[in-house]
Structure 1
C-alpha cells in the first residue's frame, strides 16, 4: 500500500483534528512563554524568582541549599526522561504487534480499519513522546551547566564577577526550566492523542481539554495566585513588564 492509498484511509475530519492538535500545541506553548504584561504565566513568574534565587546565591553561605535544590530539579528531569523512554518503547512494541493493536482498537470503537490506521495514530503519540524525551534530556544537561556556573560564582559579593556570573547561571536555569516545561506539555498532548483511537471528534475534545488544563494551570491556578499573593508582587510585575518590553 503506497502513501496515496494510506491517506485515503483517513477522513477530512481526521486531518482537521490532527492539524488542530499541532496548532493548539504550538499556540498554547507560545502564549505561555510570551504572555501579556498584565497577566503573566506561572512560567514567566517563576523565571523572575529563578533570577532572584541566583542573586541570593551570591551572599548565601554556605551554598548547600542551592546545590541540593538544583540536584532535585535534575532528578525530576531524569525521572521524566526515563518514564518517557519506557513509554516510547511500549509504543514501538505495540506498533510491532499489529494484530493485538487492531484487536484493542476494535474493542474500543467497533471499527474494522486496517492495522496501518492504528499504527499511524499511535505514531502521532510517539512523536510527542519523542519530543518530550529530547526536551527532558536537554533540560537535564542545562541544569548541569547551571550547577557549574553556580560553582563559579565568587564567594565574595564585592567581587565584580559575582553578579554577572550569577546572572548567567539564572538564564541557563531559566532555559533549562523552559525545556522541562515544554517536555511536560508534550507529555500532556501525547496523552490527549490517544483519544484519536476513538475517532477525530474525540481527538478534538481531548485537545480542547488539554489546552484548558494548561491554560488554567498557567493563568488561573491557585499556585499562580499564591505566587502573586505577597507584598513583592508589584516589584515582580514591574520587572516582568520591563523584560517584556525589551
Structure 2
C-alpha cells in the first residue's frame, strides 16, 4: 500500500461525506432531494392519520418500516461475519486472485487491511440500521399518543402538534435508515479497492453518480413532488 491507496481512500470518504450532505434539509444541485420530498409526505401522512378514527392501516405501515429496517440490520450482521471469514481465508482468496486473467496480487497485509475497512463499513451500517429501528419504535409510540380525531373540534393545534411530533421522530428514523442504506451502496464501491486504488476511485464515483441520479434526477424524485406546498419539509 502506498500514497495512491491513501489518496483513493480519501477520495472515497470525500465522495461519501459530500453526497451525505446533499440529502440534508437545504437544497443541493438546484433541486430538492427525493429524501426531503418524502419527508414532506411523511409529515402529511401523520397529519392525515391524526384525523382518522381508525388507524390500523397506519400502524401496519409503521410495522412495515420497522420490519424492513430489522431485515437490513440482520443483513449487515451476516456481512460482518463474512468479512471475518475472509480474514481467516486470506491465502485462499489471494490464490483465487492469482488465477484471474488480469494482474491483481495484493500482499496478505494489504488484503487484510482492506477487509478490516470493509468490516468497519458494515459495522457502521449496522449501527445506523439499529438506531433507525429504535427510532421507528419511538415513532410508533408517539403515533399511539396522538389524541382521537374528535379532539380537533376543540383543540386542533394540539392534534397537529402531536402528529408533527410523531412525524419528526419518523423522519429522523428515515434519515438514519437512509444513512445505513447509503453505507451499503458505498460498500459496493469500496470493493473496487481490492482491484486497486484507481479502481476504487472509479467505482466510488460510479456509485455516487447512481445515487445522485436517484436522489435528484429520477422519475421517483419527480413523482414525489408535494401536493401540499404549505406543509413544511
TM-score by length of 1: 0.87
Contact 1:88–1:129 under 8 Å retained in 2 = yes
1:219-239 deviation per Cα after TM superposition (whole angstroms, max 9, x unaligned): 0001111122x7x2xx43x65
C-alpha RMSD over aligned residues: 1.7
Contact 2:34–2:215 under 8 Å retained in 1 = yes
CA distance in structure 1 between the partners assigned to 2:117 and 2:198 by the alignment: 16
CA distance in structure 2 between the partners assigned to 1:32 and 1:55 by the alignment: 23
TM-score by length of 2: 0.91
Contact 2:49–2:55 under 8 Å retained in 1 = yes
Instruction: Flag the 1:210–1:172 CA change in 2: closer, same or farther, 3 A.
Output: same
Give 1:162 shift: 2.0
Contact 2:135–2:172 under 8 Å retained in 1 = yes
1:115-169 deviation per Cα after TM superposition (whole angstroms, max 9, x unaligned): 1110111222222111111101110111010001010101132354322111110
Contact 1:80–1:136 under 8 Å retained in 2 = yes
Contact 1:101–1:118 under 8 Å retained in 2 = no
The answer to whether the aligner puts 1:186 opposite 2:183 as a matched pair is yes
CA distance in structure 1 between the partners assigned to 2:99 and 2:36 by the alignment: 44
What residue number does 2:121 align with?
A: 128
CA distance in structure 2 between the partners assigned to 1:82 and 1:36 by the alignment: 33
Aligned residues: 227
3-state DSSP class of the match of 1:19? helix
Instruction: Flag the 1:174–1:79 CA change in 2: closer, same or farther, 3 A.
Output: same
Structure 2: runs of 5 or more not aligned: none
Structure 1: runs of 5 or more not aligned: 1-9
